[in-house]
Structure 1
């Protein structure tokens, strides 16, 4: 009989702590105590030339903002993606998010720490899962990334409405799907940094930012592991 999600997650975590590091991409021995080999480290799609407000890759003639953010500023003051959502990162994130592969998540957090935002880190706020989804999955992928990064965190953002998965919806449907999905509990900090695994259209991060601003937050930045081009 298959292990329940929570027990499978715990078993994977314990095995990862007992075995020597193995590259999470090709399964060769890891280097310098990391779960990544030297050859695979050269294939990582680092991201450093994105729009300052949405992290989309910029055209050569653009300065700091993409055309869309110049025309209509999003609710985020700044947005940073450590990597692009391309192979091999896309495969690692799918394993982490949908297949209980916490070792892949550990590597993602390490890579985020190697390419952090150029601005100071305010308290990290993980984009939350609804309690129902958390029970199904057994862990919150964004909260785990924030925890592994190790910076101070604020846990007052809640997802109060269960929403349909975003992955198969267009941008407009994604926005409406998140209406009233988030709420704030307690006193919100003046500045926060939202943390998530993947940014596609930005709808989820924008909904979180709008909720935080309504609660009195003055500055909302976002830091994601990977940006979909």
Structure 2
């Protein structure tokens, strides 16, 4: 009964907010569409991910085998990866605003869009990629944890970053792997099966390091759900 009342009140409050603050496209400022802060044209332009490698979400040509050559030769520790989008306009712009410019409205929109094309395993507990406390203080929030909160699914928060690492953005794949070595740890019991959540996947170094860590401490299966994959 309490849950029903909460949903009813939430629905009313959302309706009032929409009357006071009409939906507006976060990309071009046109009126929003389909209960989103995104207009019809920008919604149609979204770079939804298509055929991709089941293990690492790397985009593949239509008709290609379901697993890329790299993952066949050297299978990653995660059993599957799902990217909602490719890291292309306008999603890349929204992600940069969300991650680096405190635009939480962009994060909320991205989570709403992720909900429209979830992976089959989204019912597993979600584990957001953690930030080190120092980075968290600088940014003010963990973008992966905020996505999990907006997705409103069961979230496990036992994963943490035990040492500060330099930013990954300007590093090669090999440098990224070295930079992240032994950077993550777990508090308490780990769920046997879970879904790791992050905003962007570039080389996959972060999710591979975390999946290795989780498997070492008892996870039977780690899957990954990212908002966008760099093609």
2:44 corresponding residue in structure 1: 42
- 5+ residue gaps, structure 1: 1-14
1:6 corresponding residue in structure 2: none
1:134 corresponding residue in structure 2: 136
Provide Cα deviations, 1:75-98, integer angstroms capped at 9, x if missing partner.
Answer: 110000000000111011000000
Q: Is the 8 A contact 2:162 2:185 kept in 1?
A: yes
Question: What's the secondary structure of 1:90's corresponding residue?
Answer: helix
| Alpha-carbon distance, 1:17 to partner | 10
Q: Give distance in 2, aligned partners of 1:71 and 1:32.
A: 43
Q: Is the 8 A contact 2:121 2:195 kept in 1?
A: no
Match of 1:146 among 145, 148, 157: 148
Match of 1:73 among 69, 72, 75: 75
Provide Cα deviations, 1:132-187, integer angstroms capped at 9, x if missing partner.
Answer: 10000001000000110011010000001100000000000000000111000000
1:112 corresponding residue in structure 2: 114
Q: Give distance in 1, aligned partners of 2:23 and 2:122.
A: 31
1:7 corresponding residue in structure 2: none
- Provide the alpha-carbon RMSD of the alignment: 1.6
1:5 corresponding residue in structure 2: none
TM-score, normalising length from structure 1? 0.91
| Number of residue pairs aligned between Structure 1 and Structure 2 | 215
* 189 and 60 in structure 1: CA distance in 2 versus 1, 3 angstrom threshold: same
Provide Cα deviations, 1:73-120, integer angstroms capped at 9, x if missing partner.
Answer: 001100000000001110110000000000100011011111111335
Q: Is the 8 A contact 2:128 2:145 kept in 1?
A: yes
Q: Is the 8 A contact 1:16 1:103 kept in 2?
A: no
- 5+ residue gaps, structure 2: 1-16
TM-score, normalising length from structure 2? 0.90
